[in-house]
Structure 1
Amino acid sequence: MTPKNSSTPSVDVVELATKARHKLFEACPRVGAVLTLDPAHIGYLTGYRSTGHDLYRYYQMAALVSPERVALVLGAGDGPPASELLPQESLFCYGTFFVESIDRAKHWGSAYTSFDAALDAALGSILPEHCLLGLDHTGIPSKDQLTASLKNWWIEDITARLLDCRVVKLPGEIELLRHANRLLERGIAVAFENAKIGVTECELAALVASEIVRGGGMPRSLTVTSGPRTALVDAPPSQRRLAHGDTLRLDLDCTYQGYWADIARTAFIGQATPKQEARFSAISTGLAAERQAIRPGVSAGELFRTAVDATRRAGLPAFDRHNCGHGIGVNSNERPRIVEGNQEILQPGMVICIETPYYEIEWGGMMTEQMMLVTENGAEPLTTLDATLRVL
């Protein structure tokens, strides 16, 4: 049965970004402002997410923020959509892109000739000279790339503290992550309702994408594979048609208001063989053990070892993984990484994806992945879609 549509989250993304900035500046009390060029961090600290980086990987954009103010440096074509969220005076547009307006005061054009010129203006709008500027190095090799623009300010690297701030989620972030998860659950449910012999992987992926968009989200990675292709990890869907006895594996990602969801489910077409059943039972046992071990105070490395050991004992003695999950938020993969030896301790408010996938080339692959919220006393599943062995 398809999960019912839930109401759109009542989260103001600009207000949420303001709370994120306050959290960051509490961790960086000496700095007067923070500069980031990273797309995920720009969204995290301002509320605005540009599609420019999806269209052109070298697109230059920056956010200069204080606890209460934002200066956004962006291409002129980004000006109109950014103005839906932020006042025009906080936007420092560069380049040539014309959008006409009856109100000439709102005319969009070439405000600055280059990214550097717009950045200089943004810096001057927020920071007095010789102030301490926090620089996020995520996405830039070094501050030498920005030497000319930053010559009048002292620089402090705040990258680690920014990443630390993101690990435990604010309540509004959890609400957005929960909604993104629901969109994927609805997509999987619709795909399973329509999966039958003769249907192609691409047709099922299209149904998933439709559900995501219907709920206000953006499809990201849609791995819909069948038969031997299920061993190809993150392969895109193909025109292969489902056949009797196939494994069908869906490993899906989407974003909602810049926040990611990542879940996976496996089903079998017509029937499951004893080998398919035994291997699915083993990875399910490992995942259940990992899920039951989630609680504050446990390390990510302990979760990894619990998942691997339980899967091996349940019937896959050679099972091994580079990871058994990861944190999720404004990136699809973030801290804590559930890997061997990771001593990072789980804290209430973390959101993690847990998984125990198994792949064997020419035979196939299978997995269940779900999102979990670490709570004061244990964990709450954000993903509630049936994860038992399913024959379609």
Structure 2
Amino acid sequence: MVDRTIETRYNAARLAIQMDLRGVDVVVSTSLENVRYLTGINSVALEMFPHTGHCFAVVARDQPGAPFFISSRCEVDQFLDAPWPLAGALAYGPFSRESRDEPMTEDELRLRKVSVEDVSSATPLEALTQALKLLGVDSGRVAIDETGVNPAFLDAFAETRPRDSTRDAGPLLRAVRKVKTAGEQDAIAASAAVAEHGIAAAIGIARPGITERDLVREFERSVVSLGARPKFTLIKIGRAGVGGQTQPTDLPLKSGQAIWFDVGGVVDGYWYDVARVFCLGEPDAKVAAYYDAMLAGEQRAIEAARPGMTGRQLFDLTVEAVRECGVPHYQRHHVGHGIGVEVYDDVLITPSSDDVIEEGTVVNIETPYYEFGFGAVHVEDPFVVSASGNRLLTTMSRALETVGR
């Protein structure tokens, strides 16, 4: 049985502030990531049917730390997994769970009440409308996340509401997620640690003749064993790194070649996105020099980022450090991004971003370089920005490591 005594991981206090700033009485999240953020539940419905499924987390302004969960009658049993208390749960649609004479556990009784005894909602819209009434906000101003439902649903929902009483919750939720709680910071660090474990496992089999496909398989085997869900595993050998998004091949590793990693996935709802480079034996002088420049840029960012700085300012100092340290022609469209329940949370570290980094923002800083005939060098890590000193959330060495000596 889930321990429901822990507090919410998400930033409930910031959610309340953002709702006040926007004059909103209730927020409805509809996407996989935002439902996960508010409830701690990874919706089966939204995983299986990302374009047509409906699952909602509803939060009222006067109860910012108590989300209400809505899902289909089949998947509503997931409310039993909520790691923090819910304001309630509602089900919609057809599904059968039979009751006979066998005594029931506490969770079975709770599930029967939600999924069998309450049959008032046949559709997702009916369930959402009922939840708003139960929360006492049915006549209030609603912000609904437009990223997880289609326009037809939004139109139908708007018809049930007073005129001009709905808003898009997407920007509101992104603003909330921009600043991570201590629990979220720990979750991102734990996710990154799984990625580091996978990189170490893959490098552990590196030897002449090992292929990209072998390295990808070993990385994914390792991280899945620790609960990760890999989303992209980009591992390339030598000059093939210039086309890093392509499928892994049977290209064999040779002495002196670089191995480029850029890996992303989800652990317990939070993303890892980590990049490293290794060499089988002594690295080529250009690989070593260019990697050192990338690392210098990343290090400058980790040391210099401060609350109040814009994404543009952090971009400029990072790129300038790379140029100063050996790659004067270095150019990028971005050198990092926020990270959390989405791989690209706010802020973006771009040459035009005026978005402000805040205390508690987690920046995933990166300095990739790709060149035809050369390959790729790249280092990427998450760190927490704080006025009292920034904190790196990875522990693996960031230096250019050699293997197979």
Same fold (TM over 0.5): yes
1:388 positional shift:
1.2
Verify the 8 A CA contact 1:20 1:44 in the aligned structure 2: no
| Matching residue's letter, 1:145 | F
Worse-matched range after superposition: 151-160 or 105-114? 105-114
- In the alignment, is residue 367 of structure 1 matched against residue 378 of structure 2? yes
Gaps of 5+ in 1: 1-10
**Who is 2:401 aligned against?**
390
1:145 paired residue number? 153
- 1:134 touches 1:157 (CA, 8 Å); kept in 2? yes
In the alignment, residue 80 of structure 2 is paired with which amino acid?
Answer: S
- Tell me which residue corresponds to 1:92: 90
Contact persistence 1:296–1:376 (CA under 8 A): yes
Query: 3-state DSSP class of the match of 1:15?
Result: coil
- Residue number among 75, 78, 82 corresponding to 1:78 in the alignment: 75
Q: Which aligned pairs between 1:170-249 and structure 2 lie closer than 5 A?
A: 170-249=181-260
Output the CA distance in 2 between the equivalents of 1:77 and 1:208: 34
Matched, 1:62 2:56: yes
The one-letter code of the counterpart of 1:93 is A
Which of 82-91 and 121-130 deviates more? 82-91
Is 1:126 aligned to 2:142, yes or no? no
TM-score by length of 1: 0.86
What is the aligned length? 381
Answering whether residue 41 of structure 2 is matched by residue 48 of structure 1, we say: yes
Using the TM superposition, name which of 80-89 and 150-159 deviates more: 80-89
- Matched-pair contact (CA < 8 Å) for 1:25–1:31: no
Q: Distance in 1 between matches of 2:310 and 2:86?
A: 45
Provide the C-alpha distance between the structure 1 equivalents of 2:87 and 2:297, rounded to a whole number of angstroms: 53
Say if 1:367 and 1:12 are closer, same or farther in 2 by CA, change over 3 A: farther
Q: Using a 3 Å threshold, how does the CA distance of structure 1 residues 69 and 302 change in structure 2: closer, same or farther? A: closer
**Whole-angstrom CA distance in 2 between matches of 1:273 and 1:321:** 23
Partners of 1:43 and 1:13 in 2: how far apart? 18
CA contact (8 A) 1:63 1:72 kept: yes
Q: Which moved more, 1:190-199 or 1:351-360?
A: 190-199
Gaps of 5+ in 2: none
Q: Which residue of 1 aligns with 2:27?
A: 34
How far is 1:13 from its partner?
A: 10
Superimposed CA distance per residue, residues 203-235 of structure 1 (whole angstroms, 9 cap, x where no aligned partner):
222332233233333222211221232112333
- Rounded Cα–Cα distance in structure 2 between residues aligned with 1:241 and 1:113: 57
Q: Counterpart amino acid of 1:42?
A: V
CA contact (8 A) 2:39 2:86 kept: no
- Output one character per residue of 1:312-342: Cα deviation in whole Å (capped at 9) or x when no partner: 2322222110101111111101211111032
The structural deviation recorded for 1:47 is: 1.7
Question: How far apart are the structure 2 equivalents of 1:358 and 1:203?
Answer: 24
Give the superposition deviation at 1:141: 7.1
Identity fraction in percent: 26
Decide whether aligned partners of structure 1 residues 13 and 53 sit closer, same or farther in structure 2, where only a CA change above 3 A counts: farther
1:358 aligns with 2:355: no
| Equivalent in 261, 271, 275 of residue 264 of structure 1 | 275
Residue 16 (structure 1) aligned with residue 16 (structure 2): no
Q: Secondary structure at the match of 1:354?
A: strand
In structure 2, the CA distance between the partners of 1:297 and 1:85, relative to structure 1 (3 Å rule), is: closer
1:184 CA drift (Å):
1.0
Kept after mapping to 2: 8 A contact 1:135/1:155:
yes
Q: Is the 8 A contact 2:360 2:386 kept in 1?
A: yes
* Equivalence for 2:16: 25
* Deviations, residues 227-246 of structure 1 (Å, cap 9, x unaligned): 23211233343333322232
Post-superposition Cα deviations, 1:64-99, rounded to whole Å, max 9, x if no partner, equal 222254332223332233322288993333345556
Separation of aligned partners in 2, 1:129 and 1:379: 43
- Give the drift of 1:292: 2.4
CA deviation map 1:19-77 (0-9, x unaligned): 53343123323533211212211111122112443433212222222225433222333
- Check conservation: 2:39, 2:82, Cα contact below 8 A: no
d(CA) in 1 for partners of 2:208, 2:174: 46
- Change in CA separation of 1:386 and 1:119 when aligned onto 2, cut-off 3 Å: same
Aligned with residue 308 of structure 2, among 297, 305, 330: 297
Aligned to 1:288: 299
Distance 1:350 1:88, change over 3 A: closer
8 Å Cα contact 1:135/1:159 also seen in 2? yes
Cα RMSD after superposing both structures: 2.9
Q: Residues 351 and 69 (structure 1 numbering): CA distance in 2 closer, same or farther, change over 3 Å?
A: closer
Letter aligned with residue 61 of structure 1: C
Residue range with higher mean Cα deviation, 374-383 or 280-289: 280-289
Q: Is the 8 A contact 1:296 1:377 kept in 2?
A: no
Q: Distance in 2 between matches of 1:12 and 1:226?
A: 47
Give, in angstroms, the shift of residue 188 of structure 1.
1.2
Instruction: Name whichever of 177-186 and 146-155 sits farther off.
Output: 146-155
